Structure 1
Amino acid sequence: MANRILTTATRLAHEHRRRHPHWYADPDLLFVENVATALGCSVDHVRRIPRNELPAARVGQRVIYRRIDVATYVAAKLDRGAPAIKGKPLGVQPARAVSFDPVRQVRTLLKEDQG
């Protein structure tokens, strides 16, 4: 009986990891779904970005991006525009973009449960 429970628990753990791989990844690595959420676009759009603009690594069937590469890509695409008055910027701060990071969210929830 105990062996059967262990087998079921192991099977469920593997199934959970297969369905939610980003929960188990290094926080400096992002999956294509995370990058799409961060950029506010679709997964297909992220996949169409040339690799020379947004480097990625293929591990098995997954494509993994480094968080620093995504930040570099965004910085390269920023539209700084022209100042409203010669030599003086508008002084308006852009809204801080907040992307959903599932790894950070799970760690926060785990800390709340423990503390």
Structure 2
Amino acid sequence: MASDLEPVAVTPQKHDPAWKHCQMYKIGDKVQLKCIYCDKIFKGGGIHRNKEHLACQKGNAATCLRVLPDVRLQMLESLMGLRQRRERNRSLQRRLLVMIIQGPVLSIH
């Protein structure tokens, strides 16, 4: 299987810090990611799953036992920032929905 892997260049549009810690390969029409520290290949889940792997977050991916401590911390911080942004977006969506349901608030002076 490893011989079937065709390296693919990571495009400059990919700004997530996790891209610096994996390699992208193509097998047929499918793209897979490979951890540069432990050589684990991810057949799905994208960069987020690779980031969880590097952050040693159990759940969606096995933890990387060879990741450098500073990289692990960077991935943890990135995941926490993503969670905070998602929570903020959910809160804004809830407030917007309430405003839509209740209708416009008229202020009489």
* TM-score normalised to structure 1 length: 0.29
Higher relative contact order (CA 8 A, sep 6+): 1
| Higher strand proportion (structure 1 or 2) | 2
* TM-score normalised to structure 2 length: 0.30
